[in-house]
Amino acid sequence: MMTLVAVAITVAYVYSVAIVLGLEGMDFFWELATLILIMLLGHWIEMKSIMSASKELELLVQLMPSEAHLVHGDHIMDVKTDSLKAGDIILVKPGEKIAADGIINEGKSFLNESMLTGESKPTEKDKGDKVIAGSINGEGSLKIQVSHGTKDSYLSQVIKLVQDAQDAKSKTQLLADQAAKWLTIIALLSGTATFIVWLLLGKDLAFAMERMVTVIVICCPHALGLAVPLVVARSTAISAQSGLLIKDRTAFENSRKISMVVFDKTGTLTKGEFNVVRYESLDGKSNKEQVLQLAAVLEQNSEHPIATGIVRKAKGLNLPSPKMSDFKAITGKGIEATVDGNSIRVVSPGYLKENNIAVEQAPSSNAETVVFVLFNNTVMGIIALADEIRPESAEAITVLHSQNIKSLLLTGDNKEVAKVVSESLGMDGFIAEVLPHQKLEKIKELQQQGNFVAMTGDGVNDAPALAQADVGIAVGSGSDIAAETADIVLVNSNPKDVANLILFGKATYRKMIQNLVWATGYNVIALPLAAGVLYNAGIMLSPAMGAVLMSVSTIVVALNARMLKV
């Protein structure tokens, strides 16, 4: 980009020196000094704009504190963050930033992870929970066992992904680079042609030289060369702050072409965990809280997802937990134990059928998993659990439909569950009972039907489909950050982020096109004016004015890039 500036200054200076040494004509020293001054001023403003566009990345880097409080025996010492290693115990005081990824050993607090995940609501963290380096601690004091060194932390991976994406050149960037190259050639040829034409028209050497220098200066492709990089720098860093990590810039720009988004179900559209959706008493003697309470007492000894859901619900209602004894599993059918001298069982519908135990119950959805609570071999009540649909899922599908983008559910779950989820969200269809390797074939079929497909999955069992899709989107928190097959990683398992990604991709591409149109359109008008086509109308541009216009065009491009928002 500096080639034309160097040529213009060199030509003007050499010519002016020749005038001083005896060549007839008028020197350009005043114009040359003004040109250099304006060029430097414009370059300074341009650099300020570039630095400003990359400021978001600097904010990510600054999230990592420089020092940590290392617990060493019975005393605490301050050490450099980059010296921490796996197994170290660090103390995080109220209001401080977490110095390393790790697991809470002691303490309880709320953490602000908004700069890392885009989640504005503080997250409650207790003993055993994972924490991310760069998070801001609330009012509690925490002792954290470090999981790995700083260079392997989640934040470091985010920063590297952002830097790699900013450095990578997409097709749009390559197009701009080619245009800048050709503009440089055109400017040199046009400057030479302008010089020759004015001499042939009878103008003196000084006039022809001034026109040539003005043409070369005004065509400097600064604006064209920065049109895309400034948008890239801003969009990539802003995306990272919003929980959208771009690994492939071309795929991100291609998100504007998406005509169909294929969603995995578990953990994407649903929460990926069983939650109690209803519980009832069926014996007419006990209340429904007693049904849940007794089930939770037995299930607290089990790691099964159903057990976890029942225990979580009981804890949420602060139900007391009486003592039990003689706990044992009923293979494949449930569990039993003695509570306060009574035989309590939590069993499946299959157990009731096998033992000819009749029960009247409210009809349940095919998407629900039902267990029964037996009190002394009599059905006491029922608990229904389901993998709850995320509240953001419906909004995500609505936004996609508003953009004329179809949504399809692709899951290994049974057809009844898939139908319930698909219909409740208003999706365009579902494909159920599909194994991981079969998902790839389904994506191929959709592509062959003319769809530009984005696949959204967890980045592990959906890896083949993510690789096959036109845009692969992996969802999941820090541990899934390195989903190798995905083009884009969503830090939060939030389906709404998929819609936000597509909208932001479109906005980013619009900014790139706006900048390219401005940068090329400016030169189409500026070059003839610099050459002197309106000389007879009394309109002439000096080299200094050419430098002003060139700098202004660059600043317009920079300001337009700064206006990009999520």
The tokens describing 478, both together, are: 């820090």
pLDDT band at residue 481 using 50, 70 and 90 as cut-offs = very low
Position 452 pLDDT exceeds 90:
yes
Q: Do both 202 and 331 map to the same domain?
A: no
CATH for 305: 3.40.1110.10
Position 450 pLDDT exceeds 70:
yes
- Is residue 158 situated within a structural domain? no
Domain that holds residue 351: 271-389
Give the C-alpha separation, 206 to 212, whole Å.
10
- Is residue 245 situated within a structural domain? yes
pLDDT band at residue 480 using 50, 70 and 90 as cut-offs = very low
Q: How many beta carbons lie within 10 A of that of residue 416, not counting itself?
A: 12
The proportion of the chain whose per-residue pLDDT surpasses 70, expressed as a percent, equals 86
Query: Distances from the Cα of 201 to the Cαs of 148, 216, 489, 530, 543, in angstroms?
Result: 75, 20, 63, 17, 21
Position 545 pLDDT exceeds 60:
yes
Domain boundary among 344, 369, 389: 389
CATH for 138: 2.70.150.10
pLDDT of residue 49: 59
Q: Residues with Cβ < 8 Å from 202, sequence gap 6 or more?
A: none
Which own/partner pairs from 81-88 qualify as long-range (CB within 8 Å, at least 24 positions apart)? 81/150, 82/149, 82/150, 82/151, 84/146, 84/149, 84/150, 85/146, 85/148, 85/149, 86/146, 86/147, 86/148, 86/149, 87/145, 87/146, 88/145, 88/146
Q: Do both 380 and 315 map to the same domain?
A: yes
Query: Distances from the Cα of 382 to the Cαs of 267, 329, 332, in angstroms?
Result: 26, 19, 18
**pLDDT tens-digit readout, 153-165:** 777 776 676 666 5
> Which residues are identified as catalytic?
264
pLDDT band at residue 50 using 50, 70 and 90 as cut-offs = low
- Is residue 162 situated within a structural domain? no
Q: Do both 297 and 383 map to the same domain?
A: yes
Q: How many beta carbons lie within 10 A of that of residue 312, not counting itself?
A: 15
The reported pTM is 0.65
E strand or H helix at 336, and its extent?
strand 334-339
Position 319 pLDDT exceeds 80:
yes
Give the C-alpha separation, 566 to 235, whole Å.
8
User: What's the whole-number mean pLDDT along residues 251-256?
Assistant: 85
- Is residue 436 situated within a structural domain? yes
Do 488 and 245 contact (CB within 8 A), yes or no? yes
Give the C-alpha separation, 470 to 485, whole Å.
12
CA 332 to chain centre: 42
Position 45 pLDDT exceeds 70:
no
pLDDT band at residue 445 using 50, 70 and 90 as cut-offs = very high
Q: Do both 27 and 116 map to the same domain?
A: no
pLDDT of residue 51: 65
Do 281 and 372 contact (CB within 8 A), yes or no? no
Q: How many beta carbons lie within 10 A of that of residue 503, not counting itself?
A: 17
Q: How many beta carbons lie within 10 A of that of residue 507, not counting itself?
A: 17
- Is residue 526 situated within a structural domain? yes
Q: Do both 34 and 103 map to the same domain?
A: no
User: What's the whole-number mean pLDDT along residues 289-309?
Assistant: 85
Beta pairing class for 89-92 and 67-72: antiparallel
pLDDT of residue 427: 93
Task: Give the 3-state secondary structure of residue 407.
Answer: strand
Q: How many beta carbons lie within 10 A of that of residue 367, not counting itself?
A: 21
- Is residue 431 situated within a structural domain? yes
pLDDT of residue 231: 82
- Is residue 97 situated within a structural domain? yes
Give the C-alpha separation, 406 to 397, whole Å.
8
Helix locations, 54-170, DSSP H: 55-62, 114-117, 154-167
pLDDT band at residue 205 using 50, 70 and 90 as cut-offs = confident
pLDDT of residue 136: 85
Domain boundary among 351, 367, 389: 389
- Sign of the C-alpha dihedral computed for residues 383, 385, 391 and 394 taken in this order: negative
End-to-end CA, the chain: 30
Q: Do both 263 and 288 map to the same domain?
A: no
Q: How many domains does the chain have?
A: 4
Q: Do both 323 and 370 map to the same domain?
A: yes
**What is the residue type of 381?**
G
- Is residue 382 situated within a structural domain? yes
Q: Do both 223 and 266 map to the same domain?
A: no
Position 479 pLDDT exceeds 80:
no
Q: Which residues of 15-39 are buried (b: 16+ CB within 10 A; e: fewer)?
A: bbeebeeeeeebbbeebbebbbebb
Mean pLDDT of the chain: 81
